[in-house]
């Protein structure tokens, strides 16, 4: 039973956790190491106790371990838009239009331009599908602060998109 539980968690969360760790560490090999460490720790946990809050636990442990390794290495290399696009969850299907690809690229550029805390919270919400409560526990922010941060980040992105649509530089 525990093997199945670990296997299911690995299938469901390995990719999102690796992307999340990569955004923190800016190093794919370290991100993979972080996720491997997280699943080793998961093996030591009680499935019955952890299952109701599994996503929250995995993202919290990933975040903490990635921050620890980032501090250890003291390497802060900015994530390029091209690298971020390569890590987005699913590759676009061949039949998707060029317009959609351009919109995705612009959205990622706008997201990358937000302050780190807003980026992190928006990615946890929209890319990883966590609830406000889960994000709160992962980041240590209050639930209301999570909501305000998401609202602020979305408002900034919306304003930048509207400005771009009108041909006005938002930078």
Domain co-membership, 53 together with 101 = no
| The token pair that represents 98 in the structure block | 């060029």
Domain co-membership, 66 together with 108 = no
Residue 91 falls inside a structural domain: no
Contact in structure between 81 and 109 (CB atoms under 8 Å)? yes
Tokens 């302050």 -> residue: 115
Residue 45 φ/ψ region, left for φ over 0, alpha for ψ in the -120 to 50 degree band, beta for the rest: beta
User: Quick check: 45 pLDDT over 60?
Assistant: yes
Residue 152 falls inside a structural domain: yes
Q: Which domain holds residue 147?
A: 97-165
Residue 121 falls inside a structural domain: yes
In total, how many domains does the chain have? Answer: 2
Residue 11 falls inside a structural domain: yes
List the single range of 33-42, 137-146, 155-164 with lowest mean pLDDT. Answer: 155-164
- Per-residue pLDDT band for 168 (boundaries 50, 70, 90) equals low
State pTM to two decimals.
Answer: 0.55
Among residues 157, 67, 75, 162, the alpha carbon closest in space to that of 119 is found at 157
Residue 90 falls inside a structural domain: no
Under DSSP, is residue 78 helix (H, G, I), strand (E, B) or coil? coil
């Amino acid at each position: 039973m525990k093997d199945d539980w670990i296997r299911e968690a690995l299938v469901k969360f390995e990719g999102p956790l690796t992307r999340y760790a990569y955004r923190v560490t800016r190093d794919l090999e370290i991100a993979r190491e972080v996720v491997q460490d997280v699943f080793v720790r998961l093996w030591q946990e009680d499935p019955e106790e952890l299952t109701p809050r599994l996503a929250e636990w995995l993202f919290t442990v990933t975040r903490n371990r990635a921050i620890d390794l980032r501090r250890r290495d003291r390497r802060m290399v900015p994530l390029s838009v091209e690298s971020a696009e390569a890590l987005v969850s699913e590759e676009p299907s061949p039949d998707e239009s060029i317009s959609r690809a351009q919109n995705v690229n612009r959205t990622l550029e706008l997201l990358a331009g937000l302050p780190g805390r807003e980026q992190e919270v928006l990615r946890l919400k929209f890319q990883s599908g966590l609830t406000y409560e889960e994000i709160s526990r992962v980041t240590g922010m209050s639930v209301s602060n999570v909501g305000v941060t998401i609202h602020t980040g979305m408002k900034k992105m919306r304003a930048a998109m509207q400005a771009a649509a009108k041909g006005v530089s938002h930078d």
